[in-house]
Amino acid sequence: DYITQQFSSAGTNLIAVLPGRIQRGPSGGAFGQQAPLTLSDYRAVAANTPNLTDASVDFTRPGAFAYGDKTSEVNVTGVLPNFTTIRNWYARAGRSIDEADEGGRSRVVVLGQTIADDLFEPGEDPLDKIVRINQVPFRVIGVLEEKGQGVGGNSIDSQVIVPLSTAQGRLFGTRSSTTPGNAVDFINVSAYDEESIDAAIDEITWVLRERRGIEFAEDDFTVASQQDILSVAGQIT
């Protein structure tokens, strides 16, 4: 029940596209060629999947976060403005990333609840405070609603959200620019409804196989519905 709740809170009719082929079964894990996903892959999927309502990407790297004399190691996730709706994760205070932030590579950040609690005094308002990520100053524009522990016991509130363009261009540019089209960790796709999920998975698979020139070889990526991921997690647990 707990695992089901965590996945259902992530979004509606969500499909995940991941690099590499994922082993289904108790051993889990990825195998096969690890061809990265890119922003170009995301754009192709978004433009050529009739059964989707929206699509977005995640790009996460560890970063050093500081406010005043307090420091913390956090996961910094670069997102597009539609992250909140496709992942069902909204700001409880302030606002989330918008189109102007993404287009301007703005140095703005939205805090996970745990980070806000750890680095700010009780009653202190984090909004408009200046914090540093990898020594780069950022202005706090929001605090995300609390999500609690994720599958595997890790807190999904212990991360911060910045515009994707800022993460790739200002914070981790040297790490992502080695892949043409800018690498992303995975692509999130929201199907129209439950009945459209299988069709959307087939469409995404066709788009990526065509882009990668895979005719007879195995897929070097995985397209999985929430139910697929839940099944793997259930076998592991």
pLDDT digits (tens, 9 = 90+) for 64-82: 999 999 998 899 999 999 9
Model confidence at 9, pLDDT cuts 50, 70, 90, reads low
pLDDT digits (tens, 9 = 90+) for 133-181: 999 999 999 999 987 655 444 567 888 999 999 999 889 875 444 454 5
Residue 7 CB coordination number (10 Å): 17
Number of Cα atoms under 13 Å in the Cβ half of residue 230: 16
The verdict on pTM exceeding 0.95 is no
Q: Which residue has the tokens 């070097």?
A: 220
How is residue 124 written in tokens?
């202190």
pLDDT score at 26 = 47
Residues contacting residue 131 through CB under 8 Å, at least 6 positions apart: 65, 66, 67, 109, 119, 137, 138, 140
How is residue 221 written in tokens?
């990526």
pLDDT score at 55 = 92
**Helix, strand, or coil here: 218?**
coil
- Residue 228 burial (C-beta neighbours within 10 Å; 0-12, 13-18, 19+): middle
Of the ranges 53-62, 125-134, 146-155, which is most confident?
A: 125-134
Model confidence at 31, pLDDT cuts 50, 70, 90, reads very low
